Amino acid sequence: MSVVLLVVGVVIGVAYIYRHIVVKGKKCTSKAKLHGKTVIVTGSNTGIGKTTAIDLARRGARVILACRSKQRGEAALEEIRRESGSNQVVFMQLDLGSLKSIRTFAESFLKSEPRLDILINNAGIYMQGQTEDGFGLMFGVNHLGHFLLTNLLLDRLKECAPSRIVNVSSMAHNFGKIDFNCLNSHKALGLGTSFIRLLQIYCDSKLCNVLFNHELGKRLRGTQVTCYTLHPGAISSELGRNTGLFLQIVLKPITTFFFKNTVQGCQTTLHCALQEGIEPLSGRYFSNCTVRDLFAKARDDAAAKKLWEITAVWIYVLVFYGLFKGSRCLSPARLKGKTVVVTGSNTGIGKSTALELAKRGARVILACRNKEKAEAAARTHYCFVLQESGNPQVVFMQLDLASLKSVHRFAETFLKTEPRLDILINNAGVLSPGCTEDGFGLAFGVNHLGHFLLTNLLLDRLRRCGPSRVITVSALLHRFGSIDFQLLAPQTDAAPPQSAWSSLQAYCNSKLCNVLFTRELANRLEGTDVTCYTLHPGVIYTELCRNLSQWLQLLMMPLAKLFFLDPSGGCQTTLYCALQEGIEPLSGRYFSNCALQQVGANGRDDGLAKKLWEVSERLT
């Protein structure tokens, strides 16, 4: 009996020592106050994230609760304010499983908050699935989301230095590995849904945290931004809330006795965020408020760099592709009884623009050079629009902007047959060498001179039907344009002819002409009910480059399909300028991504705009 009692006593004693030394662990001893400092804590509506936020708020910090669930985040906000006695606690929605949400969060934060002193990447998930962007859920949330967030906020951290980044990892990283082949082929750290597979993938994601911190520490050398990663301890929190109910019931008594509570679990996070004098340990790993050595695989420079580079490429492709997709025109305007002319509307964004306007009830005139293609487009529009809206008002009229004679003939026919003109969209454009029928360089003749003449020939009808609008499609490339007036004469162009480079330069110059034309047109239309706008439609995958050499088209095609807008996305800013209510005071201005933008310096030169107008009048 005494032996049994002795064994029981030893077990109880060992358990007591384990609980009070290992489970409870060390406490953060820093007395730092944080008045005037701003801290972001991801995943701070529950678990150690919430207790971390409470402690930092008590120290006087302005704490941003960055959480996915608005309902749970706002509930945590009230609790943290109550527990800390601070009103400097703010909720901002952040879904780390959505790169779009991360960009939105960062943009909102950088606009509204002047400081960032500490970024705590605390959020973590333990479940299988996919993110909004198609990545494995644990890889996407635990690593990729925090990688993007950190990089988007890095400049602000540098501005507010000395500052810190704290990445919450886990001792589980010791059992992790990174299968780069699986990452490349499946955008996930592993496949499968069994308990063992889920646990392995979680361990892999925690190894990603450690390697990310290792590489980040190297890249931040020489700055006053330091970074740390940590094991918070085995914690009884909600991390496993997505595991099976049976497993949760089985584990509950074990986690209650042998695991830390959330207050104990946040101590190493607080130590890394606040402890004075640990700056030389940037990039290192901590546990129980103490720096620890890592196994070789967790400090592998090559693996850390490779993970960084793969992650950065994915971020670049997905984020910038998302940016290229751009905004959409949200105007609900209907156009029944209105007439619209769209040049170059047999293909590309012109065709998409015409289709959208016809769906809104407008009578749409397809003003195109190629009769066969235009009539095919008209039939397509007619069938689709008739089916969708019952509007058969889509008409083809031949217009060759490379022929001043054709422009005159079009205008004459239009003014005889059409009683109204409410919107003129100068959309057609070419990027190719050659000359117009009248001897002008093709880019200058079609992109500017033809539209200049067309607009002036139709201006009285636009005035009579006011309020009306003139939209001229330019491009961001206008910033690289210039105008040499000595070259603006028949048999010449806005740049020397023939080579691929000179064709591109001539195109840039013609796009500057579009901007200057709109600027001077607005000046001349002041006091009338006609307004005008120019725009960059985005980088678009269309037939614009069909006249480039075949090898150049083959080279550009895969890039264009991946990064460029399709015609439906590319016509949105045109539609915005044509339809958006309330932009009349912005006549003559330049738009991009459905928003007002600043033009390049040459595009704001009133003297240059006036001179171009006078020269264009003389040439037509």
3-state secondary structure of 80: helix
Q: Residues near 162 by Cβ (< 8 Å), separated by ≥ 6?
A: 224, 225, 226, 279
Instruction: Please provide the DSSP assignment of 540-565 as one string.
Output: B-SSGGGGS-HHHHHHHHHHHHHHSB
Can you list the alpha helix ranges (DSSP code H) found in 18-98?
47-58, 70-84
Mean pLDDT, contiguous 10-residue spans, the chain (620 residues): 58 52 77 96 94 96 95 94 96 94 92 95 92 91 96 94 96 94 88 90 96 95 95 68 52 58 93 96 96 95 92 69 65 93 89 91 90 57 51 87 95 96 95 88 93 97 96 89 75 50 82 95 96 87 50 53 68 94 94 86 90 93
* Token code pair at residue 171: 């001792």
**pLDDT at res. 385:** 46
Query: What per-residue string of b and e applies to 530-541 under the rule 16 or more CB within 10 Å gives b?
Result: bbbbbbbbbbbb
User: Any idea how long the chain is?
Assistant: 620
Q: CA angle, corner 55, sides to 51 and 59, nearest 5?
A: 165
**pLDDT at res. 389:** 46
State in Å, rounded, how far the first CA of the chain is from the last one: 115
Cβ proximity of 38 and 117 under 8 Å: yes
Question: In the CATH hierarchy, which fold is given to the domain comprising 333-619?
Answer: Rossmann fold (3.40.50)
Judge residue 294's burial from the number of C-beta atoms within 10 Å of its C-beta, 0-12 exposed, 13-18 middle, 19 or more buried.
Answer: middle
Single out the residue of 535, 516, 514, 526 nearest to residue 610, CA to CA: 516
**CATH class held by domain 35-322:** alpha beta
Q: Which active-site residues does the annotation give?
A: 507
Cβ proximity of 251 and 240 under 8 Å: yes
* Token code pair at residue 4: 């049994």
Which helix (H) or strand (E) element contains residue 590?
strand 590-592
* Token code pair at residue 94: 């952040």
In the chain, residues under CATH classification 3.40.50.720 are 35-322, 333-619
- Please count the helices (runs of H) and the strands (runs of E) in the chain: 22, 16
For residues 416 and 43, what is the distance between their CA atoms, to the nearest angstrom? 67
Long-range contacts, 617-620 (Cβ 8 Å, 24+): 619/440, 619/449, 619/488, 619/489, 619/490, 620/404, 620/449, 620/452, 620/453, 620/456
Give Cα separations from 173 to 236, 242, 282 (angstroms): 18, 20, 19
| DSSP code, position 529 | S
CA atoms within 13 A on the CB side of 397: 24
Which helix (H) or strand (E) element contains residue 17?
helix 2-17
* Token code pair at residue 90: 């703010």
Beta bridge mates, 287: 231, 290
3-state secondary structure of 532: strand
